[in-house]
Amino acid sequence: MTAAQPILWSFRRCPYAIRARLAIWVSGESVALREIVLRDKPAAFCSASPSATVPCLVLPDTVIDESLDIMRWALGMNDPRGWLNMPAAGWDWIACNDGAFKHALDRCKYASRYPDEDPERHLSVASAHLRALDAAISQSDGWIFGRESLADVALFPFVRQFAFINKPWFDAQRWPGLQGWLARYLASDAFAAVMQKYPPWQSGSPEHRFP
């Protein structure tokens, strides 16, 4: 690793980190990937990340601490699939995903953390979002806007996380467009590449170049 090579602090299963890694993988921009354990965050990571959350991209002259900003940085360097060429409505989908859907997702997946909340109500909210997403995908040749865009990539890790709360239940829903969309991502080379396992980073350990 050269002194100027960007450093990406990441946690393999975090949906925010997954979408950042997907954009970096597609762009081909090289970073030093530092995998961390969230319950034992290294001091170097806490010093680098203003929010102490992943993903965090450390550049020679700045720190990018939000996953969407990391995606835009990577694709701004190189966007071979044209993901940034997205209708403005794509940002509405991302805002809904990162807002109401993520709120409901957490209360479905981690219901024991929210004993005063009704998981069935949150399941209903999440399901309404996914029905709308299924309709959009079903009407647009298998993608939200007829071709893969930043919105598809930004939403996928969260839909994946929701689906695997109870995969048989998810598969039994009448969401064929969404289910096919998710299956393509799960089987993709990009997803396999970004989900490669790395040992947790420690001071003095060798750097892992990604992609």
- Is residue 58 included in any domain, yes or no? yes
Specify the pLDDT at position 2: 46
Do 120 and 73 share a structural domain?
A: no
Do 178 and 116 share a structural domain?
A: yes
Do 76 and 110 share a structural domain?
A: no
- Is residue 1 included in any domain, yes or no? no
Q: CB neighbours of 110 closer than 8 A, spacing ≥ 6?
A: none
Q: What is the CATH number of the domain that holds 163?
A: 1.20.1050.10
Quickly state the pLDDT bin for 4 (edges 50, 70, 90). Answer: confident
Cα→Cα distances 108→13, 15, 166, Å: 17, 16, 10
Do 135 and 72 share a structural domain?
A: no
Do 56 and 28 share a structural domain?
A: yes
Do 151 and 67 share a structural domain?
A: no
Q: Are 150 and 97 in contact (CB under 8 A)?
A: no
65-81 tens-digit pLDDT: 999 999 999 999 999 99
Dihedral sign (CA 21, 183, 173, 109) = negative
* Mean residue pLDDT across the chain: 96
Do 182 and 94 share a structural domain?
A: yes
Specify the pLDDT at position 168: 98
For the beta carbon of residue 151, count every other beta carbon within 10 angstroms: 23
5-14 tens-digit pLDDT: 999 999 999 9
| Over residues 40-44, mean pLDDT | 94
Do 151 and 120 share a structural domain?
A: yes
122-173 tens-digit pLDDT: 999 999 999 999 999 999 999 999 999 999 999 999 999 999 999 999 999 9
Specify the pLDDT at position 1: 44
Q: What is the CATH number of the domain that holds 48?
A: 3.40.30.10
| Over residues 191-209, mean pLDDT | 94
Among residues 67, 64, 60, 59, the alpha carbon closest in space to that of 14 is found at 67
Among residues 67, 184, 79, the alpha carbon closest in space to that of 137 is found at 184
Residue that is written with structure tokens 């409901």 in the block? 104
Among residues 40, 68, 61, the alpha carbon closest in space to that of 52 is found at 40
Specify the pLDDT at position 3: 53
Q: What is the 3-state secondary structure (H, E, C) of 141-159?
A: CCCCCCCCCHHHHHHHHHH
Do 198 and 178 share a structural domain?
A: no
On the question of pLDDT at 107 being above 50, the answer is yes
- Count of positions (residues) in the chain: 211
Q: Residue 150 sits in which domain range?
A: 89-189
DSSP code string of 45-75: HHHH-SSS-S-EEE-SS-EE-SHHHHHHHHH
Do 117 and 150 share a structural domain?
A: yes
Do 71 and 128 share a structural domain?
A: no
Nearest-angstrom CA–CA distance, 198 and 201: 8
175-194 tens-digit pLDDT: 999 999 999 999 999 999 99
DSSP state of 58: E
Total number of domains constituting the chain: 2
- Is residue 2 included in any domain, yes or no? no
Do 127 and 93 share a structural domain?
A: yes
